[in-house]
């Protein structure tokens, strides 16, 4: 065995240990900081109401789909119109992967996006974490049809991040299966897949039969304003290229906090769509 083989074997061993201990391949220091910060955040939180039924479903099934708030119909029509305007301006956009366009400063262009945090959403996330939470980042995407093979987020995967994360996805367009609806494997099946060795996109071929089974796949269809809370680290999921039209979506990474989300957002709004990393290495800093 040469030096390259030894290094590769050591790297695989470290990765296996981290995945076994934390469910991800982040450094030990990152996982411990996030775990410690959740404990600190829990000490200052006081539940303001009864536990949320959505928090229980989130823990057990790994996701919750929440219908649009009828009182926010005007908000979502405004967000849709502004997204259409900005996605039509190439200078405001970037294309991180084939078939996906992202606004460079989503929250700066659509500041009203934070109004999606209605009291029921706040209650669900706080009840799940048993702490306040904060927005670590928010990105606004448009997914488009593509003739190329899927890659990256369009392949089945789990996000390589600490378990102290919840993702909130909000549709800004009416979304059906053929217009790029998000899809996910519920937590019980995802736990089984992960336990049997699935933890990144490289495993798609090995688990192809189970991943392609439509009967075990939750497909999130809904009108604009549909909200989806899910455990991105714990549920196997993927985006899908639309067959027709496009899908606009806002995606929030939510992590524990020692202060309420709205107070944190006021202090850090300018940073929330400008993060270079989608994993928070030290939540106490942000």
Helix/strand/coil for 160:
coil
Number of domains in the chain: 1
- Tell me, yes or no, whether 284 lies in a domain: no
Q: Which long-range contacts (CB under 8 A, 24 or more apart) does 277-280 make?
A: 278/137, 278/159, 278/161, 278/253, 279/26, 279/30, 279/160, 279/161, 279/162, 280/34, 280/136, 280/162, 280/165, 280/253, 280/255
- Tell me, yes or no, whether 105 lies in a domain: yes
pLDDT at 227 over 60: yes
pLDDT at 21 over 90: no
For residue 260, give the nearest of 112, 77, 135 by alpha carbon.
Answer: 135
- Tell me, yes or no, whether 124 lies in a domain: yes
Q: Taking each helix axis as running N to C, give the angle between helix 119-129 and helix 53-61, from 0 to 180 degrees, rounded to the nearest 10.
A: 50
The structure tokens listed for 149 are 């093979």
State the pLDDT confidence band at 245, using cuts at 50, 70 and 90: very high
**Predicted pLDDT of residue 200:** 80
How buried is 116 (Cβ within 10 angstroms: 0-12 exposed, 13-18 middle, 19+ buried)? buried
| Domain that includes residue 212, residue range | 3-278
- Tell me, yes or no, whether 144 lies in a domain: yes
Q: What is the mean pLDDT of residues 248-272?
A: 97
- Tell me, yes or no, whether 130 lies in a domain: yes
Share of the chain above pLDDT 90, in %: 85
Mean pLDDT for the chain overall:
93
Radius of gyration (C-alpha) of the chain in whole angstroms: 19
State the pLDDT confidence band at 272, using cuts at 50, 70 and 90: very high
- Tell me, yes or no, whether 220 lies in a domain: yes
pTM, entire model: 0.94
- Tell me, yes or no, whether 283 lies in a domain: no
Beta strands in the chain (DSSP E): 63-66, 93-97, 100-103, 132-143, 166-171, 182-184, 218-220, 227-230, 237-238, 247-257
**Predicted pLDDT of residue 10:** 58
């Amino acid at each position: 065995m040469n030096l390259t083989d030894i290094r590769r074997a050591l790297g695989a061993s470290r990765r296996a240990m981290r995945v076994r201990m934390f469910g991800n391949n982040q450094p030990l220091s990152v996982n411990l900081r996030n775990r410690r910060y959740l404990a600190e955040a829990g000490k200052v939180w006081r539940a303001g109401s009864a536990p949320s039924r959505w928090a229980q479903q989130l823990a057990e099934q790994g996701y919750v789909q929440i219908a649009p708030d009828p009182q926010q119909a005007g908000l979502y029509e405004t967000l849709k119109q502004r997204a259409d305007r900005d996605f039509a301006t190439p200078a405001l956009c970037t294309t991180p992967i084939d078939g996906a366009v992202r606004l460079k400063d989503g929250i700066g262009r659509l500041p009203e996006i934070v109004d999606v945090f209605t009291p029921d959403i706040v209650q669900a996330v706080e009840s799940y974490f048993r702490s306040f939470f904060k927005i670590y980042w928010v990105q606004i995407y448009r997914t488009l049809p593509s003739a190329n093979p899927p890659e990256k987020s369009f392949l089945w995967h789990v996000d390589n991040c600490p378990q102290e994360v919840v993702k909130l996805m909000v549709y800004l367009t009416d979304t059906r299966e053929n217009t790029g609806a998000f899809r996910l494997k519920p937590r019980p099946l995802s736990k089984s897949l992960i336990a049997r060795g699935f933890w990144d996109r490289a495993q798609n071929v090995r688990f192809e039969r189970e991943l392609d089974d439509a009967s075990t796949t939750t497909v999130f269809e809904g009108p604009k304003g549909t909200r989806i809370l899910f455990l991105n680290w714990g549920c196997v999921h993927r985006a899908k290229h639309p067959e027709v039209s496009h899908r606009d979506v806002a995606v929030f990474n939510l992590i524990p906090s020692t202060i309420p989300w709205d107070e944190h957002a006021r202090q850090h709004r300018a940073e929330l769509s400008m993060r270079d990393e989608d994993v928070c290495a030290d939540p106490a800093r942000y």
